[in-house]
A and B are shown apart, each in its own frame.
Chain A
Amino acid sequence: MADTPQLVMDERVKQISPMRRALIRPELGGIVGTVAVFIFFGLFAFDSGMFNSQGIMNWSVVSAQFMIIAVGACLLMIAGEFDLSVGSMIGFAGMMIAIFGVTLGWPMWIAILVTFALCVSIGALNGFIVVRTGLPSFIVTLAFLFILRGFTIFLPQTIERKTIIGGIREAAEGDWLANLFGGTIGKGFFTWMGEAGMIATFERGTREGQPVVDGIPMLIVWALGLVLVGHVLLTRTRFGNWIFAAGGDAEAARNSGVPVNRVKITMFMFTAFCATVFAACQVMEFGSAGADRGLLKEFEAIIAVVIGGALLTGGYGSVIGAALGALIFGVVQQGLFFAGVESSLFRVFLGVILLFAVILNTYIRRIITGER
């Protein structure tokens, strides 16, 4: 700062090295991990097709899926709470879109909007119960994990005598809102790239000459959009400061006039919103809703967030970090497949990296707060 006079430095305030300063940035683990993962697969799976247009699209889509739910889980975790009902919410939201749009035959955009309203309300209910009872969100959302999954199986069985409802793509044909979740953008650009020989094109069949990858799925657009909005909200707004405060020390935040309950409930609603976006993209892609969709997604979201540097205890973390965590997650999961490694080893990798991330985060917290 130019206008402040030169301060006499306290001899007890040690200047910290740039390295230590970099270490307390929450994204650091995510950045290092991302670089490491790309180097690793660049070395061991470069020829496997992982880095041609189809391969890139493959792991990008998987990563984007993780990203969408990680953004919600990240902000909620920084606000000091968990949501274990994310996975069940994905299944439930998908099933609701199918029941409203196919079974009841509503126009798809109404089905989607009603589902969003319903799921965000359930998120609000989650938050309301947590805030009102003071119970750990772990327990409250665990209850909703079972409640929502139960309905997701019960409803289609009762109505249609099966657990999968199909025909969504047909019902969504030409629907403006459905295209926001199921469509692709940049078709012209990809066609151009195909013609220019930069990406692979079909060599036979009815689509001969068309690019293999014909656009960026809306799923990826949603993922990047949510990451951007989440990051700006957290770091650049007043509400973002409240999210940090609510998770750092709810009582201290209340003493300073932060509406902690409102912040927490809003974050539960946002997490539910993200889960519903995930579900809407998924049912549009598959054309069907299944009762087992979204299984274990809550844990995958939490792991991505933790890899991204957030503390499980709240009050610290980064959306960019969580997005990188999701990217690592997606690249490794698909990369092992490309590299021909037995897929069950992915779980081993996941457990190991989770453990490392948590240990690293705890260490970093000690540095920030000056404990030794």
Chain B
Amino acid sequence: MSDPLIQMKNIEKHFGSVIALAGVSVDIHAGECHCLLGDNGAGKSTFIKTLSGVHKPTKGEILFEGRDMHFADPRDAIAAGIATVHQHLAMIPLMSVSRNFFMGNEPVRKVGPFSFFDHDLANRTTMTEMEKMGIVLRGPDQAVGTLSGGERQTVAIARAVHFGARVLILDEPTSALGVRQTANVLATIDKVRKQGVAVVFITHNVRHAMAVGDRFTVLNRGRTYGTAKRGEITPEELQDMMAGGQELATLEGSLGTTV
């Protein structure tokens, strides 16, 4: 495999007396889907915020393309090509897909001293990008509010990729979705990965992770326990690592089935 795009080495993050991350080591390659699995409270959110420039790590180092990464704020991270698609999306339901797609990055056309929003270009680009992702729009002026949750995730992902994301951090993109919509989002992840984008897929759902992941890292109580390649690990093993094994086994025993 090529050199990793991002390397995180023994990252620790403390908030006062709370140790949110107690030693996280992950490396992320271009064109792969790296699944980061963790139960609630494992430190997933802190991990994302550290990677996307919101928090600075207390200890440890992050290398971006082999060099030390120092982001003053999330804007720096975005400029460097690290985009985060949040669980609660940056989409505005009342605005059209096209206006949402270009929000904050509006294309302008100069007429004399004035610059105008280039609606033609925006509409055309939106339609082509949506088509690539397999979303059929009634028109670029369709409001985002009429799209399903899965489609909104896809628009958000397509937008991040269109504006030059090289690392895409997806924060539980499938957690609130139905089966069919989840499948669509997973298919989108696959498409984006094939374009050479590094996808960091954060989830607590082992089955979703197994469906698209190339490599898997489990985060438990603020610590990572190594990374496994696809085919080297079974879903049951991942599940066990996430939940800390013993307790879940007891629970499952009382339920008479696996969770």
Contacts and interface: CB of A to CB of B under 8 A. Distances in A.
A238 interface: yes
A252 B136 contact: no
A196 interface: no
Contact of B104 (A4, A235, A258, A311): A258
B94 A316 contact: yes
A365 B131 contact: no
A143 interface: no
A244 B146 contact: no
A371 B127 CA distance: 24
A240 B117 contact: yes
Contacts of B86: 255
Contact of B136 (A13, A253, A257): A13
Nearest to A248: B92
Contacts of B127: 1, 4
B105 A257 contact: yes
A8 B92 contact: no
Given A236-B117, A369-B143, A257 B75 contact: yes
Interface in A243-273: 244-245, 248-249, 252-253, 255-258
Contact of A238 (B117, B136, B147): B117
Given A252-B92, A256-B90, A241 B136 contact: no
A206 interface: no
B103 A256 contact: yes
B108 interface: yes
Contacts of B78: 257
A244 B136 contact: no
Interface string B71-108: 00001001000000010011111110001001111101
A315 B103 contact: no
Contacts of B138: 13, 15-16
B143 A256 contact: no
A249 B92 contact: yes
A244 B124 contact: no
Interface of B: 75, 78, 86, 89-95, 99, 102-106, 108, 114-117, 119, 124, 127-128, 131, 136, 138, 143, 145-147
8 closest cross-chain pairs (CB), A and B: A369-B145, A248-B92, A257-B104, A370-B146, A255-B90, A256-B104, A238-B106, A252-B90
Interface of A: 1, 4, 7-10, 13, 15-16, 24, 235-238, 240-242, 244-245, 248-249, 252-253, 255-258, 311, 315-316, 365, 368-371
24 contacts: A1-B124, A7-B131, A7-B136, A8-B136, A13-B136, A235-B117, A236-B117, A237-B117, A241-B99, A241-B103, A241-B117, A245-B99, A249-B93, A253-B103, A255-B86, A256-B90, A257-B75, A257-B104, A258-B104, A316-B94, A365-B94, A369-B145, A370-B147, A371-B145
Given A15-B138, A235-B117, 10 more contacts: A13-B138, A237-B108, A237-B117, A249-B93, A252-B90, A257-B78, A257-B104, A258-B104, A368-B143, A369-B146
